[in-house]
Structure 1
């Protein structure tokens, strides 16, 4: 058997194991939609309804920014990753989890090149945290090989917490899951995990992409969580916030919008590629009893520039409301 045959056999075995875990229908749906999306993107190009699939657009923007002298400034901005730290007060947080620090990275787009991974590693290196959560979009393009992004993730992984959880985004392939879990990153595919500390429990749930693939299953992610438990939900996008709030989640962490990435002065986003309300495009928000936070992301998409919207990594410190 050739090396290529060996690799294909290993992937088939890994996907079979994943099918047993998440369900045959979920795996078939995701693989089928990925295949159709790639065929459609290659065939339609600039006629795609999603901006990130417009093949001609990056070249046009590159030319425009070069002519205006802004190209290199925009690239430099992508490497100026800031660290944000915030307290998040949760009414149902168990006492044993008071002060728990969640390092949140979103929209990493790791295979963009130009020194980005090195800058990200430098930013997160030594940042104290107890858990790390990654809310999707590991690949720069929405199609193509996954290996460059996975190699970059392998370089980043030693600088993340021992317990790291992730969900997939609309740029990601379900074929990434075995490679990510080989790096000891738990990918939550409409699933949840119980975290224990001092005899008490906190739950972390995660859903598959709700923006493009619409493969999210909130009810399935919540199935094994006690009704009274405090739960953090990971989602690539804030778009299913209404359903999430009524499922009883306490905190929803997400990304996807990049905060607009190319914004007017004051951080006013021109485009967000999201159906969520503008109030949910970036930063902290609330719907009913559920709190949320939409990261502006630490990477860039479509074009490797940022204006008036610095990339971020965020540490959420969980505290008890009224404590």
Structure 2
């Protein structure tokens, strides 16, 4: 079936709540779907004690108000807003002897932390840059919504507009800001989610494997063992995870490359790009850009959008073009 474009999605309308539940039952299986929905309903607004970190500032409305006041009093708020619109295109080369020569030069466009409904102007710039790029695959590593709870229709509409600027296959995972209820509408638009699943990518007789896990940071519904099912030991494999915090599990599971986001690179950083906080249990060297753990390469995107407050300081928003290279 041909992917539904944003305009077609507007004509068809969004699925109703009961239709979403039925779609998720069919997509995940009834037990998995009801468990996932139940976990989300119980915890989506929880500010303390849930997930990999104890405190979740994004779930505390007062934290946003305090940051807004402080930034406005300091006189730098509007400079931060302007910074948040200046998307940078970063390029990252990944070399490995395990990459089949057929995939030498394979390009992956990586978008993360779009927070599309509160970063609309940044999304226009992402679409503008993406429309002029050549790549083989697009991956999205979560956090599409600005809030962590509540309505998501405006977010999905923004993503629909961005979808029109993207080419080819698009694979995605969910982040801690996202509702599982978003999945059916986004998949109707041609965004394929990997919910503890994997897919083989083919070039002739050669294969590489792309896996994705459900949110591991807040909802803790990731299952790496399930995500690796069917991936051969000699197959080059890439893991999409919203958070890089599960880097140890991913490396020990045999993944060659892990693509993530979540940290925003700090979003508000000191001069020199030193993050005030990464809001994660993660070594700072893994908070932004390329890194390595054991035999596994990794990349943490600083994200294209902003959350809590729509500003950035000393940490430009980014979209990333990863290029696979076969090494001797």
**Which category describes the TM-score, using the shorter chain as reference length?**
over 0.9
Instruction: Say which of 8, 22, 27 aligns to 2:17.
Output: 8
Counterparts in 2 of 1:281-292, with a 5 A limit? 281-292=287-298
Instruction: Say which of 117, 126, 130 aligns to 1:120.
Output: 126
Q: Judge conservation of contact 1:126–1:159 (CA < 8 Å) in 2.
A: no
Q: Residue 246 and residue 13 in structure 1: after superposition, are their counterparts in 2 closer, same or farther (change >3 A)? A: same
Q: Distance between the aligned counterparts of 2:172 and 2:272, measured in 1?
A: 31
- Partner of residue 17, structure 1: 26
- Partner of residue 180, structure 1: 186
Q: Distance between the aligned counterparts of 2:100 and 2:271, measured in 1?
A: 41
- Partner of residue 317, structure 1: 323
What per-residue deviation string (whole Å, max 9, x for no partner) do you get for residues 221-244 of structure 1? 001111110011100011111110
- Partner of residue 175, structure 2: 169
Following superposition, the deviation at residue 16 of structure 1 comes to 1.6
Following superposition, the deviation at residue 208 of structure 1 comes to 0.5
Q: Distance between the aligned counterparts of 1:8 and 1:65, measured in 2?
A: 39
Instruction: Say which of 76, 82, 91 aligns to 1:85.
Output: 91
Secondary structure of 2:244's counterpart equals coil
- Partner of residue 105, structure 2: 99
Counterparts in 2 of 1:182-197, with a 5 A limit? 182-197=188-203
Following superposition, the deviation at residue 38 of structure 1 comes to 3.7
Q: Judge conservation of contact 1:75–1:306 (CA < 8 Å) in 2.
A: yes
- Partner of residue 62, structure 2: 56
Q: Distance between the aligned counterparts of 1:291 and 1:25, measured in 2?
A: 35
- Partner of residue 44, structure 1: none
Q: Residue 230 and residue 147 in structure 1: after superposition, are their counterparts in 2 closer, same or farther (change >3 A)? A: same
Structure 1 residue 134 corresponds to structure 2 residue 143: no
Structure 1 residue 297 corresponds to structure 2 residue 303: yes
Q: Distance between the aligned counterparts of 1:242 and 1:38, measured in 2?
A: 26
- Partner of residue 70, structure 1: 76
Q: Distance between the aligned counterparts of 2:189 and 2:150, measured in 1?
A: 21
Q: Judge conservation of contact 1:112–1:304 (CA < 8 Å) in 2.
A: yes
Q: Residue 76 and residue 94 in structure 1: after superposition, are their counterparts in 2 closer, same or farther (change >3 A)? A: same
Q: Distance between the aligned counterparts of 2:45 and 2:174, measured in 1?
A: 20
Q: Judge conservation of contact 1:82–1:123 (CA < 8 Å) in 2.
A: no
**5+ long unaligned stretches in structure 2:** 1-12, 48-53
Q: Residue 118 and residue 142 in structure 1: after superposition, are their counterparts in 2 closer, same or farther (change >3 A)? A: same
Q: Judge conservation of contact 1:203–1:230 (CA < 8 Å) in 2.
A: yes
TM-align CA RMSD: 1.7
Q: Judge conservation of contact 1:26–1:215 (CA < 8 Å) in 2.
A: no
Q: Residue 281 and residue 243 in structure 1: after superposition, are their counterparts in 2 closer, same or farther (change >3 A)? A: same
**5+ long unaligned stretches in structure 1:** 42-47
Q: Judge conservation of contact 2:96–2:325 (CA < 8 Å) in 1.
A: yes
Q: Judge conservation of contact 2:123–2:305 (CA < 8 Å) in 1.
A: no
Q: Residue 243 and residue 278 in structure 1: after superposition, are their counterparts in 2 closer, same or farther (change >3 A)? A: same
Q: Distance between the aligned counterparts of 1:117 and 1:85, measured in 2?
A: 19
Following superposition, the deviation at residue 113 of structure 1 comes to 4.6
Equivalences, count: 310
Question: What TM-score do you get using the length of structure 2 for normalisation?
Answer: 0.91
- Partner of residue 258, structure 1: 264
Q: Residue 40 and residue 269 in structure 1: after superposition, are their counterparts in 2 closer, same or farther (change >3 A)? A: closer
Q: Distance between the aligned counterparts of 2:197 and 2:28, measured in 1?
A: 13
Question: What TM-score do you get using the length of structure 1 for normalisation?
Answer: 0.92
Q: Judge conservation of contact 1:205–1:221 (CA < 8 Å) in 2.
A: yes
Q: Judge conservation of contact 2:45–2:149 (CA < 8 Å) in 1.
A: no
- Partner of residue 199, structure 1: 205
Q: Distance between the aligned counterparts of 1:176 and 1:317, measured in 2?
A: 30
Secondary structure of 1:87's counterpart equals strand
Q: Distance between the aligned counterparts of 1:131 and 1:139, measured in 2?
A: 22
